[in-house]
Structure 1
């Protein structure tokens, strides 16, 4: 389904892999990108369940926008094990203006395709998405 605002479509594989992350926990994270030629959101990287938050951050390009989901496992102050799925809108200051506009205009439509996202974080640099910040949002 194409996004009316930006003309973006979402590849069905994005929804299928997200469901696997959510229900089966086959992946720790998924990085998505918008392909310029096809005007479609596609999967760029699937993070193995053994990968950690640092691996996730390394998979985001320093100068290009991306969407991503991350399945965060954490322990509450009551010592309960929990998990929350974060949606990241990664938009570095150094990325192209056109790219920033396309990602911003397509974000809400893409997010709606991924049912089960619990928290969202927008970041323009890695400091804005440190593990401490992410954990504090989850608690």
Structure 2
């Protein structure tokens, strides 16, 4: 699945785009606010594009807040002005913000009109998006093959990548997702699960502190497990499933990722999806052996023998015999051949 966020331009921005593409507009700033692409600043043409560049672009940039900048060149193609698309994603911005802007970039380009965008410029520090930084980018760049929307999103995410290893205590962005650190209480809850002090742990993402915290711990029966899954928010769950299989008593640890569809805000859906794999790896590093990983939309899916069937799927021992395919119709009588004489 492409990591499109579902965020689109609001009506004000659409109307401004419609009248500004070939008007006396030099620069447009777009930000994501209230899960919409929103007009956040603009300037008219004052001089040629190089003289206007630093005077107009740099004041629109905030140190800790990503944004998009559309900057108009003086050149035209087919009577339409050419534009520079700047993605500003500072290193100091929250990871969830950087992910959101990286995944919405392709949508904004489509809303504005990809045909009018001549070049892309990505910056994590201000020096990269100054006029001097733009010229350096052009000097070092080799014309790449056109990218698909999905390739653009992956490229943007990779540019803000920090590390590719996992850690319990450090916050990292990885190729497999975003690794938020576990709080002390979350780590304690996992260790208590290992020691048998309870058989169920629920985790939530602390959006403000960018941590994964414990939401609740309990000792529950398999029949009560569905009631532990929230209907309006995403969660991660660990459950020690105590059961018998072929006469042997087993305790299997199951990781459950619950996401109640579109009842959750876009950012929550995106962040929980991205944090899932690093969290599983972190839990495994602590020493918990996860037997099965499951994704569900609601607690109702856990009813009945669902977990048992997931862990011990039925194997068919009666494989069908090979059936020789029929020959072509109307092929005539079978021809007899004489054995060769020695």
Coarse TM-score class (shorter-chain normalised)? 0.7 to 0.9
Contact 2:88/2:123 (<8 A) preserved: yes
The alpha-carbon distance between structure 1 residues 45 and 101, as it changes in their structure 2 partners (threshold 3 A), is: same
Contact 1:8/1:39 (<8 A) preserved: yes
Q: CA deviation at 1:72?
A: 2.8
Q: Higher relative contact order at CA 8 Å, sep ≥6: structure 1 or structure 2?
A: 1
Write the mapping of 1:74-113 to structure 2, written as runs, cut at 5 A. Answer: 84-113=82-111
Alignment partners' CA distance in 1, 2:73 and 2:62: 20
Write the mapping of 1:34-53 to structure 2, written as runs, cut at 5 A. Answer: 34-35=32-33, 38-50=34-46, 52-53=52-53
2:57 paired with 1:56: yes
Q: CA deviation at 1:40?
A: 0.2
Which residue in 2 is equivalent to 1:8?
7
Which residue in 1 is equivalent to 2:134?
134
Q: CA deviation at 1:85?
A: 0.9
Which residue in 2 is equivalent to 1:122?
122
Length, aligned pairs only: 125
Alignment partners' CA distance in 2, 1:72 and 1:23: 11
Which residue in 2 is equivalent to 1:77?
none
Q: CA deviation at 1:135?
A: 4.2
Q: Deviations over 1:66-117 (max 9, x none)?
A: 011011348xxxxxxxx63101110000111110010011111111111111
Alignment partners' CA distance in 2, 1:17 and 1:134: 26
Q: CA deviation at 1:19?
A: 3.7
The two structures have a TM-score, normalised by structure 2, of 0.34
Where in structure 2 are there 5+ consecutive unaligned residues? 76-80, 140-342
Where in structure 1 are there 5+ consecutive unaligned residues? 75-82
Contact 1:5/1:105 (<8 A) preserved: yes
Alignment partners' CA distance in 2, 1:114 and 1:135: 24
Alignment partners' CA distance in 2, 1:7 and 1:70: 25
The alpha-carbon distance between structure 1 residues 15 and 134, as it changes in their structure 2 partners (threshold 3 A), is: farther
Q: CA deviation at 1:121?
A: 0.7
Task: Choose the corresponding residue for 1:33, options 28, 31, 34.
Answer: 31
SS for the counterpart of 1:118 is strand
